[in-house]
Structure 1
Amino acid sequence: MAGLVSPDDAALAIVGEDTVHRVEGLPGESAQVGLTLALGRLRALGTTGLRVALPTPGHPLGLSGPPEFNARALEAEEAVVCFGAAFGLVPQVHEAGPAGDVHAEVVWQVLPVREAPPADVPSLGEAERELAEALREATEVLSKLDVAGSGPVAEAAIDAYRARSERGREVLAPGYPPRAMRVLELAQRVGLLVSLAHGRGHGAAVTSAEMAARSEALRPVERTARRAQVAAYNSIVEERERGVR
């Protein structure tokens, strides 16, 4: 949308390891279309950027309405909202293929959205400060809950994360500020800690009551990590919006 890569390159990056991404409900199209055509059509409709939303029940993070779009985004726990045009896209993920060769296919449903500021998205500066505090809170909480973060599953997850980082994987598209990269990497590390802490076998909490206590204690940390991820992904659009103002 910023004109820094071709629509074909953008589509390839979006698809990743999935097999097929299609877009349904695009204005002017009566059937599903491919991503390359969809991105071009969205630009023609006035879209100059895309925001991500990562809502959960009780936390409509990144959403601006209307209720129908919010409900679908909450069900999927993710959505994309156009900047410059009143459209949003919600993914529906399906598994396809025979046993042993199962792959993901995604259909993005285009729906009207309300042109309003997205809910509860912090600035990059706010997100970075909140993440630093969240890391301290996570360490304290995990220590109190006797979560050692050890065991084969936890160790494998940490090793995989380190391997991805060492390969210098590109986690954001071209054009993002360095601070956004830093915030996103930190948010992903916090999210990894939270996911490991939720998993059974990574610490001493094994009863249902202990698992519930662990989830309750970590909920604010997980919320902070999600807010920071959205702030990082949306930072380039937010900068453009401030420039327009």
Structure 2
Amino acid sequence: MLWGPSEPRSGRLAVWGNALLAGAVSPDDAVLAIVGDDAVHRVEGLPDEAGPVGLTLALGRLRALGVTGWRVALPVPGHPLGLSGPPEFNKRALEAEEAVVGYGAGYGLVPEVYEAGSGPGAADLHVEVLWHCLPVREAPPADVPSLGEAERELAEALRDATEVLSRLDVAASGPVAEAAIDAYRARVEEGGPSGPGPAPGYPPRAVRVLELARRVGLLVSVAYENGHGGAVSAAEMAARGEALRPVERVARRARVAAYNAYVEERERGV
């Protein structure tokens, strides 16, 4: 998964779902923020429901079933980040490369995204999301760092990635990356689609970690997408991938740590 300025839908659901559980936002405001630019979100597989239901009803039902918080999982092959089982849930989450995991009750949600309309580029094209509700194992999530650990890792990753990409003569280590990051910041300031943003009550340190993770992720995306730079041989391209893989891993771990900060603070009694 290449990390750009857009955020996973699971991140939006966790951030605003937790704000809703804390009583910091209304159900309508939470659902509006979660849905974003999509046309509609529905949830299927809820206990005692024969078919899909709206997101507002689903979040209320899951709260009644005992969910008191939401964590995020962002797994990729070989790295089940944020997952705790069982295998069926892990398989679906890995296929989607994201999921939310309930805290307080054994339920999780995995998104399935559909494009509806006349065809690619059509004026009536819109996105619909169906969240699959599945049982999850209530256990510590895999490989999720603390916020402090994530922040330290990100600072090192940003420095190391810039150094390695500069050595490989990849354009993304210089002005091209800075221009992309400046454009991203402009979208944030204008209220554009940059991600979930800090919902009411979201821990300030988590906001800082998430923003740094976005910056590191954007650097990786630009490095992959901005042509070959000076890395023209297969060996040099392999070296670029080798340099970026651990950076991608750090950025994903940090995002999960930031999204999960609400639940982690509750566990510590903060």
TM-score by length of 1: 0.93
SS at match of 1:222: helix
Q: 3-state SS of the aligned residue for 2:84?
A: coil
1:166 aligns with 2:186: no
23, 40, 48: which one aligns with 2:43: 23
Q: Distance in 2 between matches of 1:213 and 1:15?
A: 39
How do residues 116-155 of structure 1 correspond to structure 2 at under 5 angstroms? Answer: 116-149=139-172
**What is the one-letter code of the residue matched to 1:108?**
W
1:162, distance to aligned residue in structure 2 (A): 2.0
Residue identity over aligned pairs, in percent, reads 79
**Any idea what the Cα deviations from partners look like across 1:75-134, whole Å, max 9, x if unmatched?**
100000001110011100111112323221110000000000001111111111111111
Aligned match of 1:234: 260
Q: CA RMSD in A?
A: 2.1
1:220 matched to 2:246: yes
What is the correspondence of 1:64-143 to structure 2 with a 5 Å cutoff?
Answer: 64-99=84-119, 100-101=122-123, 102-143=125-166
Question: How many residues end up aligned between the 2 structures?
Answer: 244
Measure the CA separation in 2 of the matches of 1:6 and 1:207: 55
Q: Does 1:179 align with 2:205?
A: yes
Q: In structure 2, do the counterparts of structure 1 residues 206 and 37 end up closer, same or farther at CA, with 3 Å as the change threshold?
A: farther
Distance (Å, rounded) in 1 between the aligned partners of 2:105 and 2:173: 47
- Seen in structure 2, the aligned counterparts of structure 1 residues 98 and 150 have a Cα distance that, compared at 3 Å, is farther
Q: Is contact 1:149–1:202 with CA below 8 Å preserved after alignment?
A: no
- 1:207 is displaced (CA, Å) by 4.5
Query: Is it true that 1:188 corresponds to 2:234 in the alignment?
Result: no
Among 32, 38, 54, the alignment partner of 2:58 is 38
Structure 1 residues 84 and 213: alpha-carbon distance in aligned structure 2, compared to 1, 3 A threshold: same
In structure 2, distance between residues paired with 1:137 and 1:149? 13
The higher relative CO (CA closer than 8 Å, separation ≥ 6) is in: 2
Q: Deviation of residue 16 (structure 1)? A: 0.1
- SS of structure 1 residue aligned to 2:259: helix
How far is 1:9 from its partner?
1.1
Contact 2:144 2:257 in 1 (8 A): yes
5+ residue gaps, structure 2, are 1-20
Residue 162 of structure 2 contacts residue 173 of structure 2 at CA under 8 Å; is this kept in 1?
no
Contact 1:172–1:233, Cα closer than 8 Å, also in 2? no
Match of 2:77 among 49, 57, 60: 57
Cα offset, 1:141, TM superposition: 1.2
Match of 2:4 in 1: none
Which amino acid in structure 2 is aligned with residue 231 of structure 1?
Answer: A
